[in-house]
Amino acid sequence: MYIDVITLFPEMFDAVAKHGITRRALEQHLWSLGVWNPRDFVEDNYRTIDDRPYGGGPGMVMLAEPLNAAIDAALKRQQDAGVAGKVVYLTPQAKPLTDAGVRRLKEESAGLVLLAGRYEGVDERLIEARVDEEVSIGDYVLSGGELPAMVLIDALVRLLPGALNDGESASQDSYSDGLLDWPHYTRPDDWKGRKVPPVLQSGNHAAIEKWRRKQALGRTWLRRPEMIAALTLNKQDLKLLEEFRQEQAQQRQQEQQQQ
């Protein structure tokens, strides 16, 4: 996968190029990163990339032409590799990104050009002319699009075959099947009086899988009920979810009796 980023702060992307899973995948040539600073595409002495908004108001707006030239350069890099890139603008005005959205982006194109805005935003004409899709990572405002771009990169790269040490890790993550992940435990088996559930130490793989499925269903029901409501659960899942609810009710009852 080819990913290019248009940003005023190229050095920020050392976070994904030089660290963690994304670094290892980059070294394995599972993906390619290009970073483009729109200041490099202006000729005035001040390397101007923004100006006051028409109509007045606070802040500055990023100019269309430097961003347009940077997008051209990024797309050419991908075209030279035989990839038809898609331009994505990171903005809080878009619908929040989901796991399904990440997977769709991965499948739709082997090349993405991520536009990271700054200041009050980007000249709307540039968005109309060049942007194929807008993406948000949440209903809140950040100082720029760099962090959202890195979030999207990390989410995409971990889906690439070979990026994770365990080939099943991505398929078992939260949201991969419409559910949150189950609880995880490691050594020691008793930490400050809190013990690992006995089933996880039983060696009974069928029982472990059943417990994990129940916990995933129950955790999603507790924390994200709208996700459960959107699923069509089979009889086995419905039974596991009901068992989880009963266990939760019993636990609350015991806690009330102890108070």
Which among 133, 173, 237, 243 is annotated as catalytic?
173
Is the CB of residue 98 less than 8 Å from the CB of residue 70? no
Annotated catalytic residue within 24, 39, 120, 237: 120
Six-digit token string for 205: 């793989």
Contact 212, 168 (CB under 8 A): no
Q: Burial level of 25, CB count in 10 A (0-12/13-18/19+)?
A: buried
Region of residue 58 (left: phi > 0; alpha: psi -120 to 50; beta: else): beta
Token output for 40 = 């490099």
Q: Is 188 noted as a catalytic residue in this protein?
A: no
Tokens 């417990």: give the residue. Answer: 211
Q: Is 3 helix (H, G, I), strand (E, B) or coil?
A: strand
Q: How many CB atoms lie within 10 A of CB 89?
A: 27
Catalytic residue among 23, 92, 154, 212: 92
- Active-site annotation holder among 77, 158, 224, 245: 158
Q: Is there a catalytic annotation at residue 158? A: yes
The residues annotated as belonging to the active site are: 92, 120, 158, 173
